[in-house]
Structure 1
Amino acid sequence: MSELRTGETISLQGGGKVTIKKELGRGGQGIVYQVDYNGKDEALKWYLKDEGDLFYRNLQRNVNSTPPSSNFLWPLRITERQNESFGYVMHLRPKGYYELGDFFTAKVRFKNYDSVLHAAINICNGFLRLHLSGYSYQDLNEGNFFINPENGDLLICDNDNVAANRTESGIKGKSRYMAAEVVNGGVPNIQSDVFSLAIVLYRLFMLDHPFEGMTTLKYVCLTDEVERNIYGEGAIFAWDREDNSNRPHPQIHYNAHLRWGWCPQSLKEAFQKALGKESVLHPESRMTDREWKNLFVELRRKLIVCPESKGTDHDFMVDDINSTLTCPLCGKPVEIGALLKFGDGTEYALTRHKKLYLDDSDESVGVARVRKADGRTELGLQNLSDNNWMVFTASGRLNELAKDDIMPLRDGMKIRFNNRTTAEVIIH
């Protein structure tokens, strides 16, 4: 096993070197060190053993290519082969970001569903761009993501295994996340990626595993053969439409029971499609990353912040914003203050403290505020963007709303957020 010592220098391919400062963490494949690289702190992933020529050449290609998006902690430099192994340099994880697995064990919790949806959209956008570039990730699991629980900002790590679609990188994936065809020896590809993506997304929302329930609890020992069955071709989704034999145990799988009940029907049906028997056995029938992204963007539009919440930490997802709504946490009725109706027909629900995102944007451009005026309470919208908004009243008068300014919302008002996006205000 190859390990490095504090103060040791490692040569980089093409010139230069890094100096080991301290160990940050380790896993089954390698150790991550904090290193000094040209006077700057970076991270070095060092493999416990030489992973072979195929893996090394693929890592070289990734270093020389452009990352699909800024969400990827992409390999920056690859080391020379030395000390019977090699590694690569990447940026350090910023403070405030945690591994997805930390959320499963309640070491850290999401602030609200806005942050969960934001993380889900970032995950889907990242892999959509990766796949559109002709690459597959090949090893999706809970260790690939660093997430900020306050806002859902996300970084994707371990990009050493990314390879051209249907190309061997030397990596198959991690047990409990691989598609059935990969478990059976097939080459990972985009279709196996989207199956693993569905597992990751289910775990993000449910904090539990989609294929673990009453049936899997019958096994006293999970041998390799058993695992190949229950996470491979024999996998039964815990909430399968037709087969209820693997339903979550009420106590052992408490999160799955609780959070499934909080899910809107559209999200339940998406998981049933993406993780059902048809998708397990037939890769062409799986939910795509684009379909997932579109669903989460729609759910973010309809996200409701409970008026009893002191901030934004008390929100819930719905499918129908025009129905009678009750907060599942406090049990009190909730009224939507206003809707924004966009030119494409989509509607965006506004309640107190609700953030406003345009399309699948990473950053909110506004937030709904409640203020008192003339002895009554009214809903307003604050501009958080760098653009001045053009506001047209129902009578045709034009006003301009600068950054950080707040305006009361009036029925029939139209807001031009930028050159492409205008919405009409509908007061409920």
Structure 2
Amino acid sequence: MSGMLDSGARLTADTGEEVKVSGLLGAGGQGEVYRVKTSIGDQALKWYYPACATAEQRNIVESLVGRDFEDDRFLWPRSFVTGGRAGGFGYLMDIRPDRFKGLPALFRRQLRTSPLALVTAGLHMVEAYQSLHSRGIAYRDISWGNIFFDPDNGDVLVCDNDNAVSEGDSTGISGTMEFMAPELVRGDAGAVPGTQTDLHSLSVLLFMLLMNHHPLKGRAELEIRCLDEAAEKRLYGKRPVFVFDPVDDANRPDPVEHTTVLATWAAAPPILQKLFAQNFTEGLHDPTRRVRETQWRHALSEVRDTIVVCAECGRQNMTEPQSATAGACWSCGRGLILPPRLVVTTLSPKVERNLRLRRAARVYAHHLLAEPDRHRYDEASLVAELVEHPRKPGKYGLANRSAESWSARRSDGTVQQVTPGQTVPLRAGLEFGLGSAARAVVRAD
């Protein structure tokens, strides 16, 4: 597979360092990506096609490099690179690890994953773009082609970050049609890509991640004989209708052609259904009514904390966080059994969270914060976990994985100190302090 750059070609980064091309990794709509050797090891080089190597694109990339944005969820442009034939340019970034997979493979059902990993990926996606927006940067091209995730644990990596610009900047691209806000698709006067239009794109991406379907592709798409640009503009901009619009059923999923989204929507808890309905009804016509990142964060973190496992078939099920009834398993149809809840309450300000104590349930540092900057589900952030008694199968306790001692009060009023590494037996009514930041109680629904 040949490309614009020859293997062994030497180019120059803006730092003055020379980089050497090793080989072609792939190609996209704007350019090609190469593996290159640098003084800090192998990195990836995106090299623009001549038609895309405009002065405008160069200014955007140089601005992004100058921001020195440090966030492990983004393959951010690190250095600007020039050289090669006809005065081309590109930029260096880290190489995407193999564990991160593209969403097209998920949509084709080529990946083994779980509801827990998908909800986690959705939460991480929201927080990644929120981090970008909080710095005054609009991504403008949020789509299935620019996000990768680990199907095992839901970690995400945002790639192709060379179209992001400062909020209000009208240069560069407007996005990918399927993900663009309706006002951009229509070309409304004064409509420009920005964080407000990013919110629409983000909700489309979340719907596709969790429902494996586009939120505006129902019967209306099936009736289109030729899905040309004019038809796409009608579907996504001029006459967009949510496939589960509670009032307008003109674009409902077809019971034969759209069985997947009918099943995934039925398995989604009301807390998510309501947000999707708001975004793709009111939010289609009024950008100020689009779901904000904070709303998605709260909903997705609550849903993740209350996923339960079916006792019959072992499949994971999303449940409504505040409900005492779980309904039936989406896979086998048997009634779900809700495990006890761990109600964690932060002390200042007071915020209550509910965690279902499913097998191997875990409490993390962000559970002890009223408004965490980021949800981390790694070992370093672990505070407590549900463990089974080594000699008494079916008996469980909460193990203290933090660096602080707990003061646990049983339902009979007796108090036990739980030092780091110790386990307190799990009983309804058990109360304890999770260090100095929060308190918790075990409730049986």
Both structures adopt the same fold (TM-score exceeding 0.5): yes
Pairwise CA distance, 1:28: 1.3
Q: Does 1:387 align with 2:388?
A: no
Q: Paired residue for 1:97?
A: 100
Asked whether the equivalents of residues 235 and 280 of structure 1 are also in contact (C-alpha less than 8 Å), the reply is yes
Selected match of 2:289 from 270, 285, 293 = 285
353-362 or 145-154, which deviates more = 353-362
Q: Paired residue for 1:46?
A: 47
314-323 or 128-137, which deviates more = 314-323
Q: How does 1:133-282 map to 2 (within 5 A)?
A: 133-185=135-187, 186-276=191-281, 278-282=282-286
Q: Does 1:351 align with 2:358?
A: yes
Pairwise CA distance, 1:372: 7.0
* In structure 2, distance between residues paired with 1:406 and 1:307: 25
Asked whether the equivalents of residues 265 and 319 of structure 1 are also in contact (C-alpha less than 8 Å), the reply is no
Deviations 1:170-215 (A, max 9, x none): 1111121111222234320111000000100000001111111111
Deviations 1:246-290 (A, max 9, x none): 1112232222111011011121111111112x3222211111111
* In structure 2, distance between residues paired with 1:88 and 1:170: 17
Instruction: Say which SS state the counterpart of residue 86 (structure 1) adopts.
Output: strand
Please, what TM-score do these two structures have when normalized by structure 1? 0.91
Per the alignment, do residues 32 and 254 of structure 1 end up closer, same or farther by CA in structure 2, a change over 3 Å counting?
farther
Pairwise CA distance, 1:412: 3.1
* In structure 1, distance between residues paired with 2:404 and 2:331: 37
Pairwise CA distance, 1:387: 2.9
Q: Paired residue for 1:397?
A: 415
Asked whether the equivalents of residues 99 and 146 of structure 1 are also in contact (C-alpha less than 8 Å), the reply is yes
Instruction: Say which SS state the counterpart of residue 187 (structure 1) adopts.
Output: coil
* In structure 2, distance between residues paired with 1:68 and 1:272: 34
Pairwise CA distance, 1:63: 0.8
Asked whether the equivalents of residues 316 and 327 of structure 1 are also in contact (C-alpha less than 8 Å), the reply is no
Q: Paired residue for 1:426?
A: 443
Asked whether the equivalents of residues 180 and 233 of structure 1 are also in contact (C-alpha less than 8 Å), the reply is yes
Q: Paired residue for 1:362?
A: 376
* In structure 1, distance between residues paired with 2:245 and 2:41: 50
Q: How does 1:289-368 map to 2 (within 5 A)?
A: 289-308=293-312, 314-323=316-325, 325-343=327-345, 344-357=351-364, 358-359=366-367, 361-363=375-377, 365=382, 366-368=384-386
Pairwise CA distance, 1:97: 0.9
* In structure 2, distance between residues paired with 1:182 and 1:331: 42
Q: 1:6 corresponds to which letter in structure 2? A: S
* In structure 2, distance between residues paired with 1:217 and 1:378: 54
Instruction: Say which SS state the counterpart of residue 170 (structure 2) adopts.
Output: coil
Measured on the aligned residues, the alpha-carbon RMSD in Å equals 2.3
Per the alignment, do residues 325 and 181 of structure 1 end up closer, same or farther by CA in structure 2, a change over 3 Å counting?
closer
* In structure 2, distance between residues paired with 1:221 and 1:352: 50
Deviations 1:368-389 (A, max 9, x none): 3344766x72232345x45345
Q: 1:109 corresponds to which letter in structure 2? A: R
Per the alignment, do residues 136 and 251 of structure 1 end up closer, same or farther by CA in structure 2, a change over 3 Å counting?
same
Asked whether the equivalents of residues 118 and 362 of structure 1 are also in contact (C-alpha less than 8 Å), the reply is no
Asked whether the equivalents of residues 136 and 164 of structure 1 are also in contact (C-alpha less than 8 Å), the reply is yes
Instruction: Say which SS state the counterpart of residue 399 (structure 1) adopts.
Output: strand
Asked whether the equivalents of residues 68 and 130 of structure 1 are also in contact (C-alpha less than 8 Å), the reply is no
Q: 2:69 corresponds to which letter in structure 1? A: P
Per the alignment, do residues 106 and 321 of structure 1 end up closer, same or farther by CA in structure 2, a change over 3 Å counting?
same
User: Unmatched 5+ residue regions in structure 2?
Assistant: 346-350, 368-373
* In structure 2, distance between residues paired with 1:355 and 1:342: 12
* In structure 2, distance between residues paired with 1:415 and 1:326: 32
Per the alignment, do residues 368 and 336 of structure 1 end up closer, same or farther by CA in structure 2, a change over 3 Å counting?
farther
Pairwise CA distance, 1:114: 1.3
User: Unmatched 5+ residue regions in structure 1?
Assistant: none
Deviations 1:106-138 (A, max 9, x none): 12132x211111111111111112111111101
342-351 or 390-399, which deviates more = 390-399
* In structure 2, distance between residues paired with 1:298 and 1:219: 39
* In structure 1, distance between residues paired with 2:158 and 2:326: 39
* In structure 2, distance between residues paired with 1:287 and 1:406: 41
Deviations 1:303-335 (A, max 9, x none): 21223466xx53333344412543232333333
Aligned residues: 421
Per the alignment, do residues 336 and 16 of structure 1 end up closer, same or farther by CA in structure 2, a change over 3 Å counting?
same
Please, what TM-score do these two structures have when normalized by structure 2? 0.88
Asked whether the equivalents of residues 8 and 20 of structure 2 are also in contact (C-alpha less than 8 Å), the reply is yes
Asked whether the equivalents of residues 313 and 332 of structure 2 are also in contact (C-alpha less than 8 Å), the reply is no
Q: Does 1:86 align with 2:103?
A: no
Q: 2:415 corresponds to which letter in structure 1? A: R
Instruction: Say which SS state the counterpart of residue 22 (structure 2) adopts.
Output: strand
Q: Paired residue for 1:60?
A: 62
* In structure 2, distance between residues paired with 1:178 and 1:220: 22
Asked whether the equivalents of residues 14 and 80 of structure 2 are also in contact (C-alpha less than 8 Å), the reply is yes
* In structure 2, distance between residues paired with 1:424 and 1:222: 55
Instruction: Say which SS state the counterpart of residue 142 (structure 1) adopts.
Output: coil
Q: 2:9 corresponds to which letter in structure 1? A: E
Instruction: Say which SS state the counterpart of residue 294 (structure 2) adopts.
Output: helix
Deviations 1:60-110 (A, max 9, x none): 111121426321111111112642431111111112110122211112132
Q: 1:393 corresponds to which letter in structure 2? A: R
Q: Paired residue for 1:414?
A: 431
